[in-house]
Amino acid sequence: MKLTILIPMYNESAILPETLKTLSAYARERFVSDYEILFVDDGSTDHSAEIVEKYPDEATRVLRYEKNRGKGCAVRTGMLAARGERILFTDCDLAYGAGALGDMLTYWEENPTADAVIGSRALHPQGYVGYSAVRRLVSRTYRLVLRLFFGLRLSDSQSGLKGFSATAAREIFSRCEVDRFAFDFEAIMIGERLGFRFAEMPACVVYNRPGGKVHLIRDSARMLRDLFRIKRRVKRMDKTKV
């Protein structure tokens, strides 16, 4: 199978019907065949998994586990279970638009030596349009902290649009441990430690979902703790690929 579209989800029953309809229609038109759409249910307490299971599309499947663990766990679970040669993941609300998946695949085909492609809002002139002033400030501050204190070389580690080759996904995510929001940074750091090549493409949010699941103060403190643990662990990590 050439492609997996991976969607982590938690209590998304309100938006799932529209997401399924949009994503299935786009994938059939753009990718034609030989793809799967894999949803990973991160312990939802609503009927998210059942909605996906009942959707009449043979290319769509869902994995689920009972206890909510975080987006990082959902992405890791999906990456290790994906059947595609390339695995693209984005958020359930399709914040970057379904078309961004096709754009990423095209960009990857134009940069065939890349093992992973990272969507970057920082590289797009309208990457943060629609974000509140507070969210823009937090994003800029977080990127600065990652560059200055944790060695991030990419321009945007946290965008919800990324792609990995099956080989890179297996090697990277089998070593990942972070379950929540710092998982993106962990995956990038591990990937670079193992010698995988990352490319960045400009990415723009076209839909800003009201509310959201990030609690600024609580999650920022948790992410900071995770960042220090990631830095120490990756520094000690064996560079040998399995």
Contact 80, 169 (CB under 8 A): yes
CA 240, distance to chain mean position in Å, is 25
Q: How buried is 104 (Cβ within 10 angstroms: 0-12 exposed, 13-18 middle, 19+ buried)?
A: buried
The pLDDT value recorded for residue 217 is 58
The pLDDT value recorded for residue 81 is 98
d(CA 145, CA 141) in angstroms, rounded, equals: 6
Give the CB-side neighbour count of residue 46, counting CA atoms within 13 A. 11
- Which sequence spans correspond to the domains of the chain? 3-236
The pLDDT value recorded for residue 142 is 75
The pLDDT value recorded for residue 214 is 54
Contact 40, 62 (CB under 8 A): yes
d(CA 8, CA 85) in angstroms, rounded, equals: 19
d(CA 218, CA 70) in angstroms, rounded, equals: 14
Let me know if domain 3-236 sits in CATH 3.30.1300.10: no
d(CA 185, CA 230) in angstroms, rounded, equals: 8
The pLDDT value recorded for residue 216 is 53
Block means of pLDDT (10 residues each) for the chain, 242 residues, are: 95 97 96 94 97 96 96 97 97 95 96 96 79 73 78 87 98 95 92 96 83 58 83 87 74
